Chain A
Amino acid sequence: LQAPKYMRSPLIPEMATQEVQLNETLTHLKTESETLKSKLEDERAKLHDVELHQVAEKVEGLGQFVMKTRRTLKGHGNKVLCMDWCKDKRRIVSSSQVTHFMLLKTFMLLEHAVTMPCTWVMACAYAPSGCAVACGGLDNKCSVYPLSLDKNENLAAKKKSVAMHTNYLSACSFTNSDMQILTSSGDGTCALWDVESGQLLQSFHGHAADVLCLDLAPSETGNTFVSGGCDKKANVWDMRSGQCIQSFETHESDINSVRYYPSGDAFASGSDDATCRLYDLRADREVAIYSKESIIFGVSSVDFSLSGRLLFGGYNDYTINVWDVLKGTRVSILFGHENRVSTLRVSPDGTAFCTGSWDHTLRIWA
């Protein structure tokens, strides 16, 4: 507990003047940075000649959708926290809370169950080759498990600890190969690691609070990724230099999920302020807000359909909302989960999307 202000006030006069000076400098710096920020907004506004929905007026509307649960995957004994698709479009890795294991599921069957050494496995990822999975959580580590064809083999024995953060691991993703892994952590940093040696290749500092999510740019030429966190900021990073190249701060609350638009020129974010937003990277600004008065609960996870026309959002009020990205309207709401939707990912070929929920199940919708 902090002592009241009057108690902390220094008795020695020089110190008092020093503190006054420091305070003055700080106020001065604060106003200066505010001016700069408003100048930035002005610059951004200069080139803002049209709104997304205006451009989208000419676009044909979307019809009615029939999306249903096509599979319900049970097997976790606790909250499902994270999942990822394999590139083969029909395998899934998912991680859960207390019973600490992760499952790999095929078209319908359970393939492996691995016990993790910690609770809250908050991040998991399938390697691009489909031959390994990575996961981590409250153990502050990201571990890579090579998969084997032998179903009885103990995968945990082959585990390899790759990344080590000073706080919980919130998200992880393989880069274009099995050799590197990108992680984000509650300690406010993101980092790129070499899988084989566990060597830190690059770290990314800039968030002022927990980083909760990240996503890699889809195009081969761009070495960038985006991350979002509790400081309400979504930052775009250059993987090569470790520098933050763009930062967007329009959300009113923690950003739980970020996802690149399939073309790589924009990204969407989902936040606890119950909105999803679309940021255009080339225009360097927010171009759309997806919200509705009747939606008051936070968004835990977002993802785009293959064409980028639909934005799926998993919400804390147990529902899934489907947005028309261009028109900014909601096209569908899906019910089914009996607790928070914690994770949502569209399959690599866009044929379905999978949601994981705190009701211990995963559902596949198509």
Chain B
Amino acid sequence: MTIRNPLRDHGQRYRPRIACLKKAEKVLLEMQDLKTGVKSQPQRLVITTIPHAITGEDIISWLADRFQVDTQEARSFGSMLVALGYIYPLQDHKRLVIKPDASLYRFQTPYFWPTQQWPVEDTDYGECDGSRSHFISHPVTNTYTFPYTIKAIYLAKRNIRKKGILELHEQEHYNRLHKWMNHKWDFIVMQAKEQYRAAKERKKPDRVVFDCQERAYWVVHRPPPGTVSAMDYGLDRLIDPNADEAKTPDFYARIMIFTQQSIMRPRVKSSVSIGALVKYCATYNSHDPFLSKCLPSNPWLTDDVTYWTLNMPYVEMPTKMRVERWTFSFAELLSDPRGRNDFRLFLKKEFSGENLAFWESCEDLKWGEAATMSEKAEHIYKTFLARGAPRWINIDGKTMEITVKGLKHPHRYVLDAAQTHIYMLMKKDSYGRYQKSPVFKETVKKAICPEEHHFTDAQLEQNAKKRRPSLSPIILRQMEQEQRAKMAATVDITQLCRFTTPVPHLAVYSGITDFPSANASPSLPFLAHSPACPSPISVALDSTSASERRVEAGEGEGEGNPAAQAAAGGNVSKSRMALSLHRLLKRGCTPATMFASLSPKCHSAAGTSSRIQPISPDQPSQAPPRRIGNFFQIKVDIPPECRIYPIESEDEDEENRAASRGGVGAKEIICPWESLTPQNGTG
């Protein structure tokens, strides 16, 4: 596969890609100005006098003065001019850099500048050095010839002058060209002899100068192998910059429609939007490791990874700085997994955890794989939106109507309206109260403020020696999955308990309904999905120590008092997390099968330890989806009024809720799947 178009101009010299050349030429003309340019004088080099030679230090000081930059930058700028062949070195002609001393340079004649408009030819002669061919007409013969011919003539000429002793790469090149253009080699040799003779007739300084110029040109355009070529600009673009684009009326029509739309676009005053940018900078200034101290130390500077360890995604205690960032914006809180957990804990206490769960499910739907998309949409509908759903969310009737209508033909953005509604609700309401809540205050209080490291040089050396690769993200991912599974097993039980009367088979819910919703982040696609995987609950049980298992066992028995057991579970969950990490490390790097099974795809519900019959939506023989739907409807057949609303009843909210209730009741919005699959109704 190649993107080369045979009719393209390989030099692409009008290309803006080498727009730098035009600018470089301008600088060069300034440099050559008799009055203000770089001083030049005839210099003796070996036995010949070279006119208009300049020294490296003069060039650098002129550039530094001209652009008001330091010598290092001036030197780098000068070197680029040399690399592009605008200035060529007289002594060390193969090293295309500027030396800050009295070494001699000369300006290349404009004839050999890279922007010269040589006739266009497209013959890449298959060289392996990757550089491009440049096509020139020769100054002496003034005939347009193929570039390889010119190169061949040049090499032949050099061969004559050097009496057969060429440099190795030149020799190779010469031989290759000879072999390849055998049919006209006589012509080439003749041309070379002609040019050689013509050159001999010139004055000596002229001849030396021309030789130098020509040699410099080839050094730039056919660099010896292994050297950097500034003329190499990478891959050609597909678009031909020289081609005239045929414009159609359609083209203008599209532009005009778009411009019309752009004109109508709402805008913000510059002062407002720029003010926001400035404010953002100020807010995050102390959090930017480039601008302020990074506590305890920047791992790249000290080779000490404490900073990273303290800021792991699911660290037990976050740092002060991290907690501070959660207060900057709601998005910041949600984007940090630790922050989200903290927020979830708060919501749990407020009994409005379904909002976050819904938002996470929507994100999962939006960014998840296409294959399970409609399945997920259905699940979200049943969990959060359907009348009497187990985790029914509070959205206004209009949004609900749009969403339910859209769900008949689910696509990945079908829940956008509802999601935005819930997001704004959390942002405007829960987020504010979270920042004032005891949960947050507790986190702030406990947050770590690490001491700055003061390493001695010896310690730094030690650190550098101790550098070790970190835990693979794959293992971290597995740990994350494990933690999610635990949350599904612990947190969500309380959620349901609050809204329904404690019933013996409650745990079934946590298995089916809440588990995938808590797994808002997408599953790992590359892990195997074993069909006989244990439920997240049982995994959580399996991975706990014996002492904790007792607690879990107590949980299993104490079904009559689920709130209490969940609280107990919550208390131990942190230490359990740390323990399981430890265990995981001990276990080594082999991906354990139990983790492999921890993807939302495995809907199998019942754990080995619980006395619950598995109901899996994946197995219609056991439990058709309809049955679950019915099950829920019966279950949560409590009027929505009975639910605890975390939101202070503002009038507007009250209205919305009333509207939503009315909407559901009056218009009889039925579950889209119920109407789609009536044959499943064998509950």
Contacts and interface: CB of A to CB of B under 8 A. Distances in A.
Contact of B263 (A43, A86, A220): A43
Nearest to B128: A98
Contact of B80 (A56, A90, A220, A297): A297
B16 A253 contact: yes
Nearest to A38: B259
A340 B72 CA distance: 17
Contact of A32 (B17, B20, B256): B256
A308 B263 CA distance: 29
A305 B473 contact: no
Interface in B471-516: 471-477
Contact of B67 (A131, A294, A358): A294
B369 A176 contact: no
A149 interface: yes
Contacts of A122: 235
B355 interface: no
B229 to A, nearest CB: 9
Q: How large is the interface on B (under 10, 10 to 19, 20 to 34, 35 or more residues)?
A: 35 or more
Nearest to B27: A296
Contacts of A120: 235
Interface in A281-340: 281-285, 287, 292-294, 296-298, 305-310, 316-319, 325-326, 333, 335, 338-340
Contacts, number: 341
B274 A149 contact: no
A196 B252 contact: no
Contact of A263 (B77, B276, B287): B276
A204 B301 CA distance: 42
B468 to A, nearest CB: 7
Nearest to A359: B228
Contacts of A55: 271, 274-275, 278
B357 to A, nearest CB: 15
Contacts of A349: 289, 308, 311
Contacts of A177: 364, 367-368, 521-522
A317 B253 contact: no
A223 B522 CA distance: 17
Interface in A106-149: 106-109, 111, 118, 120, 122, 129-132, 138-140, 146-149
Contacts of B371: 194, 196-197
Q: B interface, by DSSP: helix, strand, loop or mixed?
A: helix
B470 interface: yes
Interface in B239-270: 239, 241, 245, 247-249, 252-253, 255-256, 258-260, 262-263, 265, 267-270
Given A220-B334, A283-B269, A309-B291, A209 B256 contact: no
Contacts of B308: 88-90, 349
B91 interface: no
B38 to A, nearest CB: 16
Contacts of A30: 247, 252
B524 interface: yes
A40 interface: yes
Given A55-B271, A180-B367, A220-B331, A294 B470 contact: no
Q: How large is the interface on A (under 10, 10 to 19, 20 to 34, 35 or more residues)?
A: 35 or more
A355 to B, nearest CB: 13
A82 to B, nearest CB: 12
B16 A283 contact: no
Contacts of A1: 7
A219 B278 CA distance: 18
Nearest to B232: A358
Contacts of A33: 252, 255-256, 259
A153 to B, nearest CB: 12
Given A168-B235, A296-B27, A298-B20, A282 B291 contact: no
A307 B287 contact: yes
Interface string B284-301: 110111110010001111
A240 interface: yes
Interface of B: 1-3, 7, 16-17, 19-20, 23-24, 27, 63, 67-69, 72-73, 76-77, 80, 130, 228, 232, 234-235, 237-239, 241, 245, 247-249, 252-253, 255-256, 258-260, 262-263, 265, 267-278, 280-285, 287-291, 294, 298-301, 305, 307-308, 311, 331, 334-335, 363-364, 366-371, 412-413, 416, 420, 423, 467-477, 521-522, 524-526, 589-591
25 contacts: A36-B263, A40-B259, A50-B270, A86-B473, A88-B476, A90-B308, A111-B469, A131-B473, A132-B526, A149-B474, A168-B3, A187-B238, A196-B371, A220-B363, A221-B331, A223-B413, A274-B19, A280-B270, A280-B273, A283-B268, A283-B272, A294-B73, A297-B80, A308-B284, A310-B288
